[in-house]
Structure 1
């Protein structure tokens, strides 16, 4: 699935809405690779996991942690078994069309925390031209946990992607530990795009709306950019997705916690074909769908 968003949000998720269709679920279009091929790590590599899941051993240590909600993108030291076994596990986002001002923003928790014995973890961040190890061309950063047994906590990381403006890229997270005893990596509340305004979308009013509302996109028909406006009366989990006429999901505009307000999101369909599309807003148990037409 190619990214079809404009300059506001390319990807946004706290991973709460990722269904466990398989034991190792990932967002649509993402891919992972167990490059160390360690049979001990089968089923323990990168995946969106619930904080109630236990991967073996100590029930406290081996449960994933979440920054918000109950799910996060997680990998366990079991992916490489630890000790002298190498951990070398990759996970790639879907393709992203980068614009000037876009950033990668996420929260992470690595390494031991208070009450857990000494471990060191690290995760590398790569910019790639494809969802493959050979496509990795720019090493953006390496995050290493603190050595102090009580110093590791959730930390927000922000990386400016403007140097890749005009490029179609994939972002990879590589859990690589050649010899060290390790513990885990937890990643949550990720945003890729331009977070100007309210996490990348424009809050149109300081007044709190009194109802749930999804407005007709404007302009409609459109080519290739249109604006979608919605209102929510209280802070809620919000999902806003685009579907083609066959019901296939082609893009996710919002997937996470959003404060009460009225929001306008720019949708760029430059990579889609002409035709009828549907956009669905879901807020808790409420849902509404509208139709729009792309004419090129």
Structure 2
């Protein structure tokens, strides 16, 4: 993979099959993310923010371009205008191949739209009247129970339905940040992610949401540390930090490579898509001669190089 810039969403159907979009391209893995290959490339595939596959062949995606779907595993995509609304799709959730919901906005209005026949027809459902509310994510655990989270500047909103989206109620929760993503593991256990590292959790099916205060502060910028020990013989460790991917044209595919003084590549230590966090890798120079070497971290537009000394 090359020229990976923004990644807004990634979806794995199982432990082997996964997809993500970046820069108008659809990438696919069949070995759990060890290798990725370019599957499709079209300009309208840019800025995809939501993605879900229901089967190995059937998948839905959406973003600024609207709503698209595939029936051949991501090799080709077709656009659809649900309920005649050209909307900026923010969230997608299907509970099976027929029944699903999408949320998004158009013309300053927030929408939730439902299908019960696999996208052949769509029904507009109604949110409560909340000024300046923008739905960002939707999740249903069955055909009746579902949640939507979003922004209501400067606070977040959680909505719940018990009748498939026909009506929604506003859920109180102890947080004042905008909310962007909701996901449930089962009918009881779920999480909400929001601005400023906010993590809100429920263990009783959304009856009560509690903010998790034991969340480690997320990395907000790249950082490549000096290797240690340095000088070294024959092994040394290299630490680096990756911020939340997608912002400011940064993130995506991360590579960490070692070069000699002539610029020849000696070893590739990292070559994969990585989530935000702190990482540490070990470099072994046992087969190399003493001297100066350079290690370079590269991710999107970010590039940083540092020097290390192998002394035998």
TM-score tier after normalising by the smaller chain length: 0.3 to 0.5
Question: More strand per residue: 1 or 2?
Answer: 2
Greater relative CO, 1 or 2 (CA 8 Å, sep 6+): 1
If you compute each CA radius of gyration, which structure gives the higher value, 1 or 2? Answer: 2
Q: TM-score, normalised by structure 2?
A: 0.31
